[in-house]
Amino acid sequence: KEGKQYLNDNDQLLKTFINIVIEITNDWLLSKSNYLKTEEEAFLLKVEELNLTDSFENQTELDEARKKDRMKVWKACEETNGYKSIITIGLLATDNVIAQTYICDRLGMDLLLDVISLYNDSQIIAKWCLWSCINLTYEHPPNKREFYIKNGIPIILKSMKSHRNSVEINQQGFALLFCILNDDPYTKINLHSARTQALSNGLTDVSYHASRIYESNKLITSTIDAISQIIYKDWT
């Protein structure tokens, strides 16, 4: 009886800590998203005030200039170390069903997907968001369903397309895709629909490029092969 009470106390302590970490991450995301919005508006205002629009030959050139300006902002966001709260979420979810469940109950999955969408240009943030999503969904069917219905598959494939030359993002991205798309007797999602969604959002293209770039990386190539076998079996 005392042992059971001890575990319950630990569970409550864990939930309290999860609440704190999620609030910290939420505050960081809100402050940085407002900062990004302000910087973006300032950049566009600068272009308009100085009548710089005509100095760009086309929209693509203007977009490139905007992206270069935003990269300075991404770097500033990374240096705040706020992304370490994302790492903490992943650590808390590791091999702990109670933590996995409670984090998603507190909208932790939504938070991670929001972060990776907003900070898509940041390799550091994308890498740790993917890693934390793996820990949240590993052997946890309800969380896999949460990831799927929140459009997690298109979001991570977009991130992988943006960071083709990042070995860490490719490792984490393919591992997460395998976790979601692999056969699961307790699945809460339509796996055929999930696999179709992955294909329609560029899985084949991402896999092809990664297999060429990282042909000597056995971890990446073996995961790509495993996903390909899943897809092939599903469509045959």
Q: What is the pLDDT along the chain (236 residues), one digit of tens a residue?
A: 344 443 455 677 677 778 777 777 777 666 666 555 565 555 555 555 444 444 545 556 556 665 665 555 555 555 556 678 888 889 989 988 999 999 999 888 998 998 888 878 888 889 999 999 999 999 999 999 999 999 999 999 999 999 999 999 999 999 999 999 999 999 889 999 999 999 999 999 999 999 999 999 999 999 999 999 999 988 87
Q: DSSP characters for 188-233?
A: -S-HHHHHHHHHHTTHHHHHHHHHHHTTT-HHHHHHHHHHHHHHHH
pLDDT of 6 reads 38
Residue 12, CA atoms < 13 Å, CB-side half-sphere: 6
Distance, CA of 103 to CA of 97 (rounded, Å): 10
For position 100, what pLDDT does the model report? 93
Q: How far is CA 95 from CA 2, 108, 136, 137, in A?
A: 24, 16, 9, 10
Cβ contacts of residue 55 below 8 Å, gap of 6+?
none
Q: At what angle do helices 191-200 and 218-235 cross, to 10 degrees?
A: 120
Closest of 79, 101, 93, 96 to residue 129, by C-alpha: 93
pTM over 0.85: no
User: d(Cα 94, Cα 88) in Å, to the nearest integer?
Assistant: 10
* DSSP-H helix ranges across 50-166: 59-79, 84-93, 97-105, 108-118, 123-137, 141-149, 152-162
Choose among 62, 61, 64, 72: nearest CA to 39. 72
